[in-house]
Amino acid sequence: MTSKSKSTWRGLSALQLFRQGHDTSSISKLLGISEAAALAQVSQARSAELHRADPYHHPNVPKSKRHSGLIGYAGRP
């Protein structure tokens, strides 16, 4: 990460920073968000540019259960 202050990065999207060579860890620090949020922003912006579905949109999972850990995965019922 460069020595620029956070205010220098205002106005730049996570995708723009990614394309400038920053990884999601440094993007998260620059934008003051979690690394997971930085990855989501990059992925969603790239998908939108390519006219593809949002990779984080799960229409069949009720909103109340999306981040609750109640959805089974990797062999967990």
Mean pLDDT by 10 residues, the chain (77 residues): 51 91 94 92 92 78 62 55
- For residue 6, CA distances in Å to 3, 12, 30, 31, 32 come to 9, 11, 5, 7, 8
> Is residue 47 a part of any domain in this protein?
yes
Beta carbons of 54 and 47 less than 8 angstroms apart:
yes
Domain span including residue 29: 12-52
Residue 57: per-residue pLDDT:
74
DSSP string for 27-51? HHHHHTS-HHHHHHHHHHHHHHHTT
Question: Looking at the 3D structure of the chain, how many domains does it have?
Answer: 1
Question: Does 48 reside within a domain?
Answer: yes
